[in-house]
Amino acid sequence: MSPTDTPVPPVPANAGPPLVVAVDGTSGSGKSSTSRGVAQRLGLAYLDTGAQFRAITWWMLRRGVDVHDAAAVAGLAAEPRLVSGTDPSAPTIHVDGEDVSAPIRTPEVNSAVSPVSAVPEVRTRLLELQRAIVFETLAAGRGIVVEGRDIGSVVWPDAPVKVYLSADPAARASRRSREEGGTDVAATEQSLLARDAIDSGRATAPLVLADGAVAIDTTPYTLEEVVAQVVALARAVEAPA
């Protein structure tokens, strides 16, 4: 069964308000800051699925696996043990007990993560983990903001709020380069565009505008303005006019 065909588990009737906010979009479009801001404003949990793909990639690189050898990556995809912390004010990611929050943001991981993410076995493994986290959060009576590339299309297609963030490539590159401590903006833009091309072109769960997603071009807005737009969408779902 392909990851895309895996059925979504049902939400139990006593799960409380099952608010899932799916935030998809291109690299550097402001997904993480927006998702964390929305989760903090609404008291929701937060799941960064990109960090999970990065963590598996980091583990493959440390093992010396050739990330362009899809069969090698697939064969090891089940091995690393990932734990994602879902507090939006301090999200964490551990692999086999090791905190990898910093090393998953290096240029080596940036350039290796797209080929690893294109391997179906990696996606299936993470899809199960992602759905389990959403399911457990909802079952505990809490909502969650989930950010990635395929959240509204594959991971949780029934999310009541779906947004797709994009931004002008130059704006994305300058934001990302600031976040990474002043890396070269032109090189950062090339790296973002290369990742976008692979993420959008892959056969399994490509980056797409999901059915029902609201597209927001964040270029002209401040972070607070984008957060406010998504919060308004969530409030409209919670209390329809």
Return d(Cα 136, Cα 56) in angstroms, integer.
22
Shortest reach from residue 122's CB to ligand DC, in Å: 9
Site for ligand DC in 42-61 (CB under 6 A): 49-50, 53-54
**Does residue 125 interact with ligand DC by CB under 6 A?**
no
Q: Which of 20, 84, 199, 213 binds ligand DC (CB under 6 A)?
A: 199
Return d(Cα 26, Cα 29) in angstroms, integer.
6
Shortest reach from residue 36's CB to ligand DC, in Å: 13
Return d(Cα 209, Cα 137) in angstroms, integer.
25
CB 234 within 8 A of CB 161: yes
Site for ligand DC in 134-173 (CB under 6 A): 148-150
CB 159 within 8 A of CB 151: yes
Binding mask 21-40 for ligand DC (x = CB under 6 A): ------x-------------
**Please, which residue, 45 or 236, has the CB nearer to ligand DC?**
45
User: Considering CB under 6 A, how many residues would be counted as binding ligand DC?
Assistant: 13
Binding mask 176-195 for ligand DC (x = CB under 6 A): -------------------x
Q: How far is CA 220 from the centre of its chain?
A: 23
Q: Which stretch binds ligand DC (CB under 6 A): 71-79, 81-89, 113-121, 165-173?
A: 113-121
Q: Is 182 exposed, middle or buried (0-12, 13-18, 19+ CB in 10 A)?
A: exposed
**Please, which residue, 42 or 93, has the CB nearer to ligand DC?**
93
Shortest reach from residue 237's CB to ligand DC, in Å: 22
Chain positions contacting ligand DC, by CB under 6 A:
27, 49-50, 53-54, 113-114, 117, 148-150, 195, 199
